[in-house]
Amino acid sequence: MDALNSQLLSLLVWLPVLGGLALLFVSDSQAGLAKSIALIIALVAFVLSLLLIAGFDSSTAAIQFEQKLLWIEAFKIHYHLGIDGLSLPLIVLTTLTTVIVVISGWAVQDRVGHYMAAFLILSGLMVGMFSALDAMLFYVFFEAMLVPMFLIIGIWGGPNRIFATIKFFLFTFFGSVFMLIALIWLYLQSGSFAVADLHEFPISLQAQIWIFLAFLIAFAVKVPMWPVHTWLPDAHVEAPTGGSVVLAAVMLKIGGYGLVRFSLPIAPDAAAALDWLVIGLSLVAIVYIGFVALAQRDMKKLIAYSSISHMGFVTLGLFLTFAIVRSTGDVSGAALGISGGMVQMISHGFISGAMFLAVGVLYDRMHSRQIADYGGVANTMPWFAMFAVLFFMANSGLPGTSGFVGEFMVILAAFKANFWFAFLAAMTLILGAGYSLWLVKRVFYGEIGNDSVAALKDLNGREWLVMTVLALLTIGLGVWPHPLIDMMNASIVELVNHITTTKIAP
Amino acid sequence: MDIKTILLLIPLLPLIGSAIAGLLRHQVGRSGAHSITILAVAGSFALSAVVAWQVFVNDLPVLNYSIYTWALIDGIRFEIGFLIDSLSSMMMVVVTFVSLMVHIYTIGYMKDDPGYQRFFAYINLFTFAMLMLVMANNFLQLFFGWEAVGLVSYLLIGFWFKKDSATKANLKAFLVNRAGDFGLLLGIAAVLMYMGTLDFAEAFAAAPGLTDSTISILGGMEWSVLTFICICLFIGAMGKSAQVPLHVWLPDSMEGPTPISALIHAATMVTAGIYMVARLSPMYELSLTALSFILIIGAVTALFMGLIGIVQNDIKRVVAYSTLSQLGYMTVALGASAYSVAIFHLMTHAFFKALLFLAAGSVIIAMHHKQDMQEMGGLFRKLPVTAVTAWIGSLALIGFPFFSGFYSKDLIIEAVKLVDRPGAGFAVFAVYAGVVITALYTFRMLYLTFHGPTRADAETFSHAQEPPWVVTLPLVLLAIPSLVIGYLTVEPLLFGGALSDAITVLAVHDPMIKLADKFHGPFEFALHGFVTPVFWLAMLGVAIATVVYLFKPALATVIKSRFHWLWSILDKKYGFDEFYQTVIAGGGMKLANLFSSKGDTMIIDGWLVNGSARVIDALSNRLRTVQTGVLYHYAFAMIIGLVALVFAFVLLR
């Protein structure tokens, strides 16, 4: 068992990557075979990730399932994988999302093998990124991931896909260059790329601030935070359904994960000095982007803006610690904020994924994403309408769904930091419900809008399956978030302790 | 069965019923759906009655326990748990009883509706949510129940989702409630920050220690923490219990089918705000400022919403404005520290207002879904059961002695007269004036519907007949408590200390202590009720209605044209709707469009990303000519190279 445990993460990274590479050689005439292989690999990876949960000891913040090999000796770069409570939920989210996109991609006609290959490879790379404990290895995965997503949008995307892919690529690439520079500087100073070493390495405040800003640019683009968010709506609109699902459900989380894994622990003093910046941008995201979402006429754009607004809760929750300490004199409440941010990431994975799938269900049938082209869909697709209302309600933070948990915790924690943070964040109660339910009204309610809506067929078995799984997860996490929170708790407490201790060089 | 199993079953039965009726709607069919859901609610009601018996008769001590831990962070326990005392057990009986009546009634009211099973699933789900709300022992679960009833209310107002007016109304209801929840959530956050817990009992224990704490929000303004918390939480109550200015959603909620107007928008959900303030009385007692605020809001609602009821022609809307006004009365009682009286009125009102709504529904069925009272009249002989029960409900509503509403409303008025805090003078005026108004709109409704010559077309009128027993039985079963529940329970509930395990009032300003001296049993109290000014004010209202709407119908037109300015103010409902429509909704949309077109598209993408945008354009122009297949292989070669590098290392090592 130990032998398996130390290889488990590697297996989770390379099984989908190798499987994906193999699929590239399956010809288009054997689409069914390609789909079956992809599904089996995705399911195996998912089951393997459940083994991680089964073997995970949530009482400690220590790294588990660790594997460390020297990779490039000259730069002391290691192939070093391992997980703690912060990365484990995101890895399981990744493997789960992969299963879902493979199933939902069943109807894809064009280059099926390549399509499935891209998603499998992407999945392995994302797991690699979430489990990398060497900064250089992280960077390799972080960059490599761009390629399959770039291709997914560029090949199976909508009419404006080239514009969208390049905008997507330039934004993220632009951000990651700063990260690379920061990592090299850190290596030159500390002589190590090991994330754990960087966490402990003392740095002057001024240097921390530069490092913090460099990381922030890289991760803010990924989250995305205002004002570097405009690539996301374009990417979503052009991406095929599966691409949107992975993009929203997992890829956006890379930004949030980077903040807790790199920005906060490597430059905690800078984070404390500049938390106003992150908090300010988060609140702009929540309120301003909430308004922008209200104005959208394209369903995917609306959900994309809604994503940005909801990710504002992630960044807000993660950066409340210092303001809470300043306001109340102790750290009580800090873990609440960070937990809220983390839960929000997982929850947003379910809900945004489900909403993009829902748009996909409609797009597959009517080839339009325009809200105005619909109306009265509930008449012809009553079961689909039930799921859609559930997911859009979850998106507006309804208690009993996962969408409530993270927002609730972040707002409670924000109140401890500053009344106005909580006040502005709580605006989402009204704005989120506004854009979500207004969309429901325009698309699902009313008399049948036109002949195409009249001809709509309700969900097929495959669509039922993915909607049911996501619905159960959304409700399950909303009704009982304790297991997830417990899984992360030790790591979050450790993180809070770490970032509230100065590491300015003496 | 042990008591905890019983308590768990009470909310779970309707939840299960709802899941079966909703998800297996085709399998169980129409009769299956109503049988299962009715059995579930009947079971809940029976078990609630058992619990209430244990609490009120066998003096079961207060039960306060956790079901499961929802989350545990930073030493804060987020729990799902029950608090079972006199207050919650009484609410459970009221909720399940009215719900059961409405379930039965629905068989008749919705019998031709294609969404039959869905409707039963929703009202079962509602019963679950409402029970979770009233059984909660902490703020988290309260908030869960609070929003869950809001969800079902949304689904039911928009039940006929093809109607644009229905889906406008449900969106409006949800958003206005969210505005209230905004306050509620901030209040809960403040409770957690200052009291360190979300548990009711622990919060009550911590509250007295906070009387001197202040919170600074804007500049140097210092607020008492308790006042801040209480007002924030009350803003939530204003949304749910439709107090001015967050009342605008309730009249529009009448777009939903009538059974849910009775259940949700009269008897139960809208009283959640009243229930919450009573539940939190140990906190509210410590903030006179908050109580004054509540008193004034309640008085404004009681008076001004009642006035609108006089000019409504839609029978359901009259009852809806009446509900707003009565909720105002309950709120006034809360503001006067007479929490037990507020709860008492909540209970009597639940019965007689559910009755009035269901009676209105019965009329609507008989009139083939016409709701305009100007096309009714003379229906007494056609619908004798409906008419008699409506009379009983109406007499209870206007507070006629011996009827249930008499005890609760009279005691509210007496209690308000005894308090001495800012706003009390206005509140006394409002509740007195409200008595005339209530009698006026109630008898106007009775006369226009049941008496005088009919204004319905001959065809409709000749076909009008009493609906089947599933409709009339609930009317009769609700008419009984509307008649007698006040007489039977006023003494134990208000003067026998039956609610004292749940409600805390500081002795210094407890109006009930002084009232107890005046109260010598329900019979004498009601007898005395015939010689009080309140009675004569009600009779004044009845007299006006009798003259104007029964004897001299022409007078109504004369009055309307003479006081046209007043009539148009009332007809426009003081302009709240226009204000929200143009300023809030319109302004919000303007802002949204401005942010979207100017902020995102022009400034960020246009100017900030301008340089790169041009690069993108150039690049994409060039790339468009490249075959996607080539691009694909090229890029994949890139990734294969990168990944192979890492993998080769892992494998070869």
Yes or no, beta carbons of B70 and A447 under 8 Å apart = no
Yes or no, beta carbons of B70 and A14 under 8 Å apart = no
User: What is the C-alpha separation between A127 and A142, in angstroms, rounded?
Assistant: 10
Question: Which residues of chain B make contact with A446, given a CB cutoff of 8 A?
Answer: 161-162, 164, 167
Min CA distance, B61 vs chain A (Å)? 29
Yes or no, beta carbons of A430 and B175 under 8 Å apart = yes
What residues of chain B, 39 to 68, have a C-beta less than 8 Å from chain A?
Answer: 68
Size of interface A-B (CB pairs under 8 A): 199
User: What is the C-alpha separation between A374 and A384, in angstroms, rounded?
Assistant: 14
Query: Is B162 an 8 Å CB contact of chain A?
Result: yes
pLDDT tens figures, B141-173: 999 999 999 999 999 999 999 999 999 999 999
- The pTM of the full predicted model, rounded to 2 decimals, is 0.93
Min CA distance, B620 vs chain A (Å)? 6
Q: Which among A17, A147, A292 has CB closest to B638?
A: A147
Identify the pLDDT of residue B379. Answer: 87
Contact A204, A237 (CB under 8 A): no
Question: Which residues of chain A make contact with B186, given a CB cutoff of 8 A?
Answer: 411, 415, 419, 422-423, 426
Tokens coding B334? 């809360």
> H or E stretch including A385?
helix A382-395
Query: Is B585 an 8 Å CB contact of chain A?
Result: no
pLDDT tens figures, B27-67: 999 999 999 999 999 999 999 999 999 999 998 999 999 99
Question: Which residues of chain A make contact with B146, given a CB cutoff of 8 A?
Answer: 399
Distance of CA B120 to the CA centre of its chain: 19
What residues of chain B, 121 to 150, have a C-beta less than 8 Å from chain A?
Answer: 140, 143-144, 146-148
User: What is the C-alpha separation between B314 and A47, in angstroms, rounded?
Assistant: 60
Q: Which among A423, A437, A445 has CB closest to B186?
A: A423
Yes or no, beta carbons of A154 and B161 under 8 Å apart = no
User: What is the C-alpha separation between B280 and B133, in angstroms, rounded?
Assistant: 13
How many other C-beta atoms are found inside a 10 Å radius of the C-beta of residue B651?
11
Its ipTM equals: 0.93
pLDDT tens figures, B200-255: 999 999 999 988 888 877 766 788 999 999 999 999 999 999 998 999 999 999 99
Q: Which residues of chain A have pLDDT under 50?
A: none
Identify the pLDDT of residue A314. Answer: 96
Question: Which residues of chain B make contact with A333, given a CB cutoff of 8 A?
Answer: 74, 193
- The sign of the dihedral angle between the CA atoms of B329, B330, B331, B334 is positive
Q: Which residues of chain B have pLDDT under 50?
A: 625-627, 629-630
Identify the pLDDT of residue B626. Answer: 45
Interface test with B, best of A230, A238, A429, A492 (most B CBs within 10 A): A429
Query: Is B547 an 8 Å CB contact of chain A?
Result: no
Nearest CA among B158, B142, B52, B147 for reference residue B95: B52
User: What is the C-alpha separation between A240 and A228, in angstroms, rounded?
Assistant: 22
Nearest CA among B180, B425, B437, B438 for reference residue B295: B425
Query: Is B584 an 8 Å CB contact of chain A?
Result: no
What residues of chain B, 511 to 540, have a C-beta less than 8 Å from chain A?
Answer: none
Residue of A nearest to B77 (CA): A482
Residue of B nearest to A431 (CA): B175
What residues of chain B, 407 to 466, have a C-beta less than 8 Å from chain A?
Answer: none
User: What is the C-alpha separation between B122 and A468, in angstroms, rounded?
Assistant: 19
User: What is the C-alpha separation between A29 and B1, in angstroms, rounded?
Assistant: 64
Query: Is B228 an 8 Å CB contact of chain A?
Result: no
Identify the pLDDT of residue B374. Answer: 87
Question: Which residues of chain A make contact with B179, given a CB cutoff of 8 A?
Answer: 430
Question: Which residues of chain B make contact with A419, given a CB cutoff of 8 A?
Answer: 186, 215, 217
Interface test with A, best of B68, B128, B193 (most A CBs within 10 A): B193
Tokens coding B123? 């009202």
Q: Which among B146, B179, B632 has CB closest to A155?
A: B632
How many other C-beta atoms are found inside a 10 Å radius of the C-beta of residue B269?
28
Min CA distance, A228 vs chain B (Å)? 8
Number of DSSP helices (H) and strands (E) in chain B, helices first:
29, 4
